Structure 1
Amino acid sequence: MSEKLTNTGLVKHAQTMLGLPTSYMWGTLARKIDSGTIDWCRETYPSMYSADRVAYLRNQIGKRYGCDCVGLIKSYYFGGVGSPKYTVKRDYNTNAIYAAAPKKGPLSSLPEVPGTCLYMRGHVGIYIGGGWCIECTLGDYGDGVVKTRVVGRGWTNWFYCPFVEYPGDSTDAPAPAFQKGDKVKVKPGAKTYTGGKLASFVYQTAYDVLEVSRDRIVIGIKGNVTAAIKADDLIKQ
């Protein structure tokens, strides 16, 4: 995908997936089911792939798309349905993508902004407006990408995807304080973007800015990632 990633684009992507034949596959990204993917998933996540589930999925080879809940979101910013594009730095699980969100809140304060993401422990979905959600799930609500009501589903929080632009985010915003390629140092006592501790040597070294996503700055040396840091915790050199 070369176009800008937006909240409305995320909704359109989810609606496209809703219209396709899908099956829930833990660890996958909205790609056509094939034997190699099934084998990899079974070996990587054995507790999530029973013999019966594997047998079912083998019958869907070439017929359906495999996806999991956060894969529905990631497949949008990785290039769309069936895209082979992949970036390990943006491969977040459900809890990590929620932790990295630039804005979030309890479900009671859910903004009427289609493309806002929904969260409960271990599961995410995409709010499409009007009290409806599109999610990828397996169980009582279906198998694969389904449309469900937000109320009564168990969602606890909402959040903005860290790689998607939302209304008011950037159109009239000033240029970002940091750009890819900048040299920076980490302020003494700063933590990772998600609040984790940093090794003491991190504060003594100058780093390259590898990626910028609003206030989330990925730093490293020679292309190797060291950490993601809040912009306010960095000093440009």
Structure 2
Amino acid sequence: MDEKDNSRSSLQTAADLGRAAKAAYRIAQAAAVSGVHGAAAAAVKETVPALVKFFLAVLLILIVIPMVVFTALPNIFFGYDSSDTASVIHMTEQAMRIGGAYMSLDDFERTQIDSIITGIAAEYEADGTAIDHIEVKNTMKEDDLLWIIAINSAAYEQDLDAMSAELIQNFCQSTLSYQPSLSLLGGSTSATLEVEIKRIDPEELMEQMGFNEDARQWAGALFETLKDSGALEKYGGYFSAYQPDYSGDGSYSGDIQHGTSYDNDIDISRFVSPSTKNNLDLAAYAVQAWENNWGYVWGTYGNILTESLFAYKKQQYPDGVGNYADFIEANWLGRRTADCIGLIKGYAWLDASTMRIGYAANGMPDYGADQMYQAAKNAGIQGTDYGTVSSMPEIPGLMLWKSGHAGVYIGGGYAIEAMGTRKGVVKTEVSGRGWQGWCKLPYIDYLEVE
């Protein structure tokens, strides 16, 4: 998709619908007295019926004009802070979660790209090609994000109950297109890894998804509305509390235990079933990471922190990594590192036959801690597959969760967690740690302890 307005000229009908929708928004806002239905009724009484019916049809289909889901938030859309109506409360909570996922897509896209590049670099290093430097060319622009939101919303016909943050982020991940290449220096084995992140082609994407002409027009209308309203900037603040946090929990001041070894090898001789993914081997993997004093670097998942990878991470995360560069260089450079959820993903993505950690392998998606816990809840039964810490069964390999952070239960009341940059992978007591829940990861098997 080039920088010209070809997409806009090819969607003139969609543009007309977008402008009509904004007009409907102004009518409804001016007449609002009791939520969406009250606004609609007031607008019908006060305006020419034929014109208003068209405007309201657009309004009701879009549900929210400024930011796709936002008109499904009557409390925000019409200026109210709260509601006692159960259906409105449910709709607002669901839309806030979806809005949070939408508003975090830019950051989510960055972390997805980061994970992919980390995996690509590790693959080359494992094959004996020393990566000197990593260069990333990300050509994606805000319009691509708007198209992702618009197309995803049209695909679900703006049904809030059918949509979820997990599905939205899966869709975003599936739209990423990238091309790695190597530039060798002279005749040496050192190289510059170049990765180009490509822009999306909305017409091609809608074709792949089987959109008919009506769906295309509504996706176009949503895109036009989002683009012209500046909703991302205007309404982003409402959803900041609902955006995922990819950081650790390094502020903990309680008792922690460090391992006594320093080894980058991963020993699968302790695994009960190296060819499968199961809870007992996850616990054994986490214990090894602790014993060998793995470090913590945001956006890593068991990779060895090379000079080139470290330089890239500093550029990618000037706050999360750059602000701790001196400490990381002195303590974690040349060692295996992971962030909190990366400790779990590294086990799931490990190929025991080659001892390489890939990317999004073996059915485990590239999720953050909150996403992973939500996926477990969606797939499981409360009390059996997830619950509060007070109800946690004695099963090694459960994931422990608190907002923005995850750990691995190893049994006997202890957990292993990649805690934070200055602490690395440590062992802690579950009691008093502030964990909010536990879950069985839906991407691995759970075996009984013999």
Tell me the TM-score normalised to structure 1 length.
Answer: 0.63
**Superimposed CA distance per residue, residues 175-222 of structure 1 (whole angstroms, 9 cap, x where no aligned partner):** xxxxxxxxxxxxxxxxxxxxxxxxxxxxxxxxxxxxxxxxxxxxxxxx
Paired residue secondary structure (1:96): helix
Alignment partner, residue 165 of structure 1: 445
Larger Rg: 2
Q: In the alignment, does 2:98 pair up with 1:98?
A: no
CA contact (8 A) 2:279 2:446 kept: yes
What TM-score, normalized to structure 2? Answer: 0.34
Q: 1:34–1:61: 8 Å Cα contact kept in structure 2?
A: no
| Residue number in structure 2 paired with 1:48 | 320
* Higher strand residue share: 1
Q: Tell me the CA shift for residue 73 of structure 1.
A: 0.4
User: 1:19 maps to which residue?
Assistant: 291
The yes-or-no answer on 1:78 pairing with 2:356 is no
Per the TM alignment, residue 80 of structure 1 is displaced from its structure 2 partner at its CA by 6.5
Partners of 1:61 and 1:154 in 2: CA distance: 27
Percent sequence identity is 33
Deviation at 1:45, TM superposition (A): 2.2
Distance, in Å, in 1 between the alignment partners of 2:394 and 2:350 is 26
Displacement of 1:6 in angstroms is 0.8
Name the residue aligned to 2:412: 130
The Cα of 1:66 is off from its aligned counterpart by 1.3
1: CA distance between counterparts of 2:366 and 2:309? 17
SS at match of 1:112: coil
Structure 1 residues not aligned, in runs of 5+: 169-237
Distance verdict in 2 for CA 1:35–1:94, change over 3 Å: same
Deviation at 1:42, TM superposition (A): 1.9
In the alignment of these two chains, the number of paired residues is 165
Q: Is the 8 A contact 2:283 2:397 kept in 1?
A: yes
Q: Give yes or no for the alignment of 1:4 onto 2:4.
A: no
Alpha-carbon spacing, 1:23–1:84, altered in 2? closer, same or farther (3 Å)? same
**Contact kept? 2:296, 2:332, Cα under 8 Å:** no
In structure 2, the partner of 1:66 is: 337
Q: From the superposition, tell whether residues 80 and 125 of structure 1 become closer, same or farther in structure 2 (CA, over 3 Å).
A: farther
Residue 143 of structure 1: how far off its partner (Å): 1.2
Shift of 1:77: 0.6
Matching residue of 1:173: none
| Structure 1 ranges of 4+ moved more than 6 A | none
* Structure 2 CA distance for aligned equivalents of residues 38 and 162 of structure 1: 32
Q: Secondary structure at the match of 1:90?
A: coil
Secondary structure of 1:36's counterpart equals: helix
CA contact (8 A) 2:398 2:409 kept: yes
Q: CA RMSD in A?
A: 2.3
Alignment partner for residue 34 of structure 1, among 306, 311, 318? Answer: 306
Letter in 1 for 2:292: L
Alignment of 1:151 onto 2:431: yes
Q: Whole-Å Cα distance in 2 between the matches of residues 84 and 166 of structure 1?
A: 21
Query: In 2, Cα distance between the equivalents of 1:61 and 1:125?
Result: 20
CA deviations over 1:16-53 (Å, ceiling 9, x no partner): 111213221111011111122212222222221244x1
Alpha carbons of structure 1 residues 61 and 138: separation in structure 2 relative to 1, 3 Å: closer
> Which runs of no fewer than 5 residues in structure 2 stay unpaired?
1-267, 269-273
